[in-house]
Structure 1
Amino acid sequence: MSSDYRTGREGEFTYRGHTVEELQSMDREAVAELLPARLRRTIERGLSVEQEQLIEEAKESGSEETANDPIRTHLRDMPVLPAFVDKTFAVHNGQEFERVRVEPEMLGHYLGEFQLTRTSVEHGQAGIGATRSSKFVPLK
């Protein structure tokens, strides 16, 4: 992690010198100035209608959100904004919705970065007749 993302003396998280509460009270343009260039440009060009609806849904959900009721979304390209901190999202990975709890350290990233779309493949032994070398694989 770079020096821009650190905890304060009291252990409170700060993002480029601002606490989460300060970031949540700022307007979107002021927060965009603190974000990396790619996210700043995404916000400056304007968010889509679906992204705006997701922001409104996150604001309406309140802080006492239950783990049984996450906010479901397909928007993997949604920047993580201060309004999303301490909320649970169900992000679609192409097959199913997986839960992602947004922490303050996730600011400056996209929602899709925290839900992988590919899994590691673990191959077993080759079957009988699969290759010429498989005739030397013991049957037991």
Structure 2
Amino acid sequence: MSSEYRTGREGEFTYRGHTLDELQEMSLDEVAELLPARQRRTIERGLSVQQEKLLEEAREAGVQETANDPIRTHLRDMPVLPEFVEKTFEVYTGQSFERVRVEPEMIGHYLGEFQLTRTSVEHGQAGIGATRSSKFVPLK
């Protein structure tokens, strides 16, 4: 994988002083030491069976040439690891699966952080059974 992401002083993506290629070569325990406390604790206590399965799917998708197929998951609490970079996931929002393309800057966050589960509410005018005072809608 080439380092086509340009950030940092030297022009190449780095995460806590390590390039993307170095991060991808590290073991899971070595990467865990670099992650924030909550994600590090998740890995140190052991990934769940579903999280292990997702990690295996991501590794297999990297080996296969058909890496364009998205990986579907309900695991919003899975930490983004260097192995997930440049892969596409479909993360469940509670109603549907939404695509998330993992970029190097996402390392150290959770998959669920990149797909919101709530939508903003825009209220319309009062309905038919509304009282007189609630029908008043000030003009702009």
TM-score calculated relative to the size of structure 1: 0.86
Unpaired runs of at least 5, structure 1: 1-5
CA displacement, residues 72-104 of structure 1 (integer Å, 9 cap, x when unaligned): 000000000000000000000000000000010
Letter paired with 1:44: E
CA distance in 2 between partners of 1:135 and 1:126 (Å): 5
Q: CA deviation at 1:127?
A: 1.8
CA distance in 2 between partners of 1:135 and 1:40 (Å): 53
SS at match of 2:24: helix
CA distance in 2 between partners of 1:13 and 1:131 (Å): 59
SS at match of 1:90: strand
Which residue number in structure 1 is paired with residue 8 of structure 2? Answer: 7
Say whether 1:70 aligns with 2:32: no
What's the % identity of the aligned pairs?
A: 79
CA displacement, residues 28-79 of structure 1 (integer Å, 9 cap, x when unaligned): 111010001111111000001110110110011127522xx21000000000
Say whether 1:44 aligns with 2:44: yes
TM-score calculated relative to the size of structure 2: 0.86
Which residue number in structure 2 is paired with residue 35 of structure 1? Answer: 35
Say whether 1:55 aligns with 2:24: no
CA distance in 1 between partners of 2:46 and 2:136 (Å): 62
How much is the aligned-residue C-alpha RMSD, in angstroms? 1.6
Relative distance call for 1:98 and 1:136 in structure 2 (3 A) is closer
1:1-140 alignment, distance < 5 Å: 7-9=8-10, 11-62=11-62, 65-66=67-68, 69-134=69-134
Relative distance call for 1:109 and 1:135 in structure 2 (3 A) is closer
CA displacement, residues 107-135 of structure 1 (integer Å, 9 cap, x when unaligned): 11100011100000111111233122255
Corresponding residue pairs, total? 129
Contact 1:129 1:135 in 2 (8 A): no
Letter paired with 1:32: A
